[in-house]
Amino acid sequence: MKITNREVQPIVTPGGSAGTRLALENVSAGYGHVEVLRDISLHVAAGEIVALLGRNGAGKSTTLATIAGLIAPRAGRVILNGEVRTDSTARRVHSGLAYVVEERGVLLGLTAAQNLRLGRGSIEDALSYFPEIEPHLGRTAGLLSGGQQQMLAVARALASNPDVLLIDELSLGLAPMFVQRLLESLRRARDEGVAILLVEQHAQTALNVADRAYVLAQGQVVLTGTAEHLLSDFNRVESAYLGVS
Ligand SMILES: Nc1ncnc2c1ncn2[C@@H]1O[C@H](COP(=O)(O)OP(=O)(O)OP(=O)(O)O)[C@@H](O)[C@H]1O
Ligand SMILES: [Mg+2]
167 contact partners, CB below 8 Å, separation of at least 6: 100, 154, 157, 186, 196, 197, 198, 199
- What is the rounded distance in angstroms from the CA atom of residue 201 to the CA atom of residue 174? 12
Least Cα distance to 114 among 90, 140, 94, 135 occurs for 140
> Would the CB of 31 count as within 6 Å of ligand 1?
yes
User: 208: which residues sit within 8 A by CB, 6+ positions away?
Assistant: 183, 227, 231
- One-letter amino acid of 106: V
Q: Domain ranges in the chain?
A: 5-96+162-241, 101-160
* C-beta separation of 154 from 167 below 8 A: yes
- CATH number, domain 5-96+162-241, options 3.40.630.30, 3.40.50.970, 3.40.50.300, 3.40.640.10: 3.40.50.300
Helix orientation angle between 176-191 and 146-159, rounded to the nearest 10 degrees: 10
Contact (Cβ atoms closer than 8 angstroms) between residue 75 and residue 63: no
Distances (CA, A) of 66 to 75, 136, 167: 11, 34, 13
Identify which of 24, 27, 28, 31 to mutate to test ligand 1's pocket (most ligand atoms within 8 A of the CB).
31
Question: Strand pairing of 164-168 and 97-100?
Answer: parallel
Tens place of pLDDT for every residue, the chain, 245 residues? 333 333 333 344 444 566 999 999 999 999 998 999 999 999 999 999 999 999 999 999 999 999 999 999 999 999 999 999 999 999 999 999 999 998 878 999 999 999 999 999 999 999 999 999 999 999 999 999 999 999 999 999 999 999 999 999 999 889 999 999 999 999 999 999 999 999 998 999 999 999 999 999 999 999 999 999 999 999 999 998 887 65
- Is the beta carbon of 53 within 6 A of some atom in ligand 1? no
Ligand 1, pocket-test mutation among 33, 53, 62, 242, most atoms within 8 A of CB? 62
